[in-house]
Amino acid sequence: MLQLVVWVALKQEGFGASLQHYNPLIGVEIKKEWKLLDSWQLIAQMPFGKPTAPAGEKEFKPLDERVKFFK
């Protein structure tokens, strides 16, 4: 996965990054704001920079509250 390679390379250089996926509903506004070609498909962006603090601990809901199985 390309994003993993980019993420690791940025980390090795002392940068932090966050992978942000686009919702198609905002694609029109983003293309207009940044004057992007209509033929471009917005999927994700990876903003990066020097971390100002360590990442905090993440809390997750129990798995049975986050995942549904259908039989």
Q: What is the pLDDT along the chain (71 residues), one digit of tens a residue?
A: 788 899 899 999 999 998 888 877 888 888 899 899 989 888 888 999 999 998 899 999 999 999 998 98
**What pLDDT does 17 receive?**
92
Say whether pTM exceeds 0.75: no
Two tokens at 47? 């903003």
Residue 42 near residue 30 (C-beta atoms within 8 A): yes
SS3 16: strand
SS3 44: strand
Q: Which of 44, 50, 48 is nearest to 20 (CA)?
A: 44
Residue 19 near residue 7 (C-beta atoms within 8 A): yes
Q: Which of 58, 19, 57 is nearest to 11 (CA)?
A: 19
